[in-house]
Structure 1
Amino acid sequence: MIRAGRDCQVRTLTDLAAAAGKSAKSFRNQRLHKVPGHPEPISSARARVLLWDGEQVDAFHAGRPVPALPEEDSRDDLLDRNEAAELADVEPRTWDRYANLPGMRPRPDLVAVAEVDHWRRGEVLDWLDDRPGPGSSPGRPVGSREAASPHARPSCWSAIRPSRPPQRPLNSASLLTRRNVPSHAPARLRYAGYSRMMPS
C-alpha cells in the first residue's frame, strides 16, 4: 500500500538498481534489496511488481535510521489489486473481473503509480457502500465495460517520471531506410525490399 501523499516517493526495483549502478537483473540476482536492514517493499505480499518507499530507501543507504511509515489508514491510501480485493472481501481475480463483468457497477477510477494499478481506499469504501443489494438494479447497463486509461487518474509519480514518448508510425520510406534500401534504387528493388517487410 502507498500511504496517502507518498506516491512521489515510490521506487521500483529498476530505480534501486540504477541508484546502485547495476542492471535490474544483476541487482535482483544478487538480492541486494534483501540485505539485512533494507526496507521492506510497500507492495502487498502477492504483488506482481514490488515497490518501495523512497524516503526509507534513501535513509538506509545514507546510514540513517529508516523512518517508519504512517500506521493510520487514510481515505487517500493507494491500494494495489490484492489490497483492494481484500478490502472488498473478494479474490484478486474477482476484483479484476469487476472491470468488465456485465451488470456490475464500474469500479473506482484507477491511479497508476509506476505502471501499477491502484485504487484510493476511500473510493473503494464508497463503491462498496453504493453497491446495490440482491435483486436491485446494478446501476450500469448490462454488457457495458469499464473504461480503462481515459479515466485513470495521473499520480505524482507519473508526473515526475514521464513515460517513454510514443514512437511515430513508420511509413514505407522509413522502413526502406531501416533496411538500407536507398530511395533512388530501381523500383523493382525498392518493391522487393518493402515486400520482404510486409506480413505474408
Structure 2
Amino acid sequence: MKIACIDMEGVLIPEMWPHIADFTGIQSLAITTREEPDYVQLVAKRISILNENRLGIADIEYMISKLAPLPGAIEFLKQLQKHYRIVLVSDAFQEMLLPLWHTLGQPELRCHRLICKANGQIRQARFSRAQGKHEVIEEFAAMGARTLAVGDAFNDLSMLRKATQGYLFRPSAETQQAAPDLRIALSYQDILDGIMLEHGSALSVN
C-alpha cells in the first residue's frame, strides 16, 4: 500500500489567509505557519480578529471562492494517483476548504473543523489531531503503508520526517533553515522525478 499525504495551502492551493488579508485589508490576518509555528495560538488570534471585525464564516467562504488551485496542481494529483492513494492533510478547516477541495477532485481529506454560532460567527476551532500531521503518517505506517509526504511550512516538518519519502515544497528561507535534513522540491516535477526513480516509469505534469 502506498499513500501520498499532501498538504494543501502553499502546495496545491494558495495560502488562504494572506488572500483574506488582502481582500479585507486586515494585514494582521496575513501571518501563516511559515512565520508563526504555534498553530493553535495562530488560529486563536485569527478568530479573535475576525470577530472584532464582524466577519463570519459566510464572509470567509465567499472570499475563498475567488481562489483557484495553483497552476499544475490538478495534473500533479492525477499523476500521483497512478501509484498512490491520495490523502490531503491540512491544518486548515473543512468549512473553508470545500470549494477548492471539489476543484481538486475530492480526494480523501484530513483537516480540522470550525464551530460557529447560529449567526455564522466563528466561536472556536475543533482540532482533529492532538500533536501534528505526523499522526496521519503514523496511522498509515501502522497499517504497513509506504508514505510520500509533501508540505511547505513549519507545521509540515514532523509529517515529512515520519514519511518514507518527504519533500519540502518551495519553502520560505525560515522553514528551509529549520529543516536542513529534508529534500527540497521547487516544482511538482521535482517530486514526480523522485517517484520515477522508485517506480521506474516517467511521470509528468506537462
Mark yes or no: TM-score above 0.5. Answer: no
Structure with bigger gyration radius: 1
Bigger RCO of structures 1 and 2 (CA < 8 A, at least 6 apart) = 2
TM-score of the pair, normalised by structure 2: 0.30
Structure showing the higher strand proportion among its residues: 2
- Structure holding more helix per residue: 2
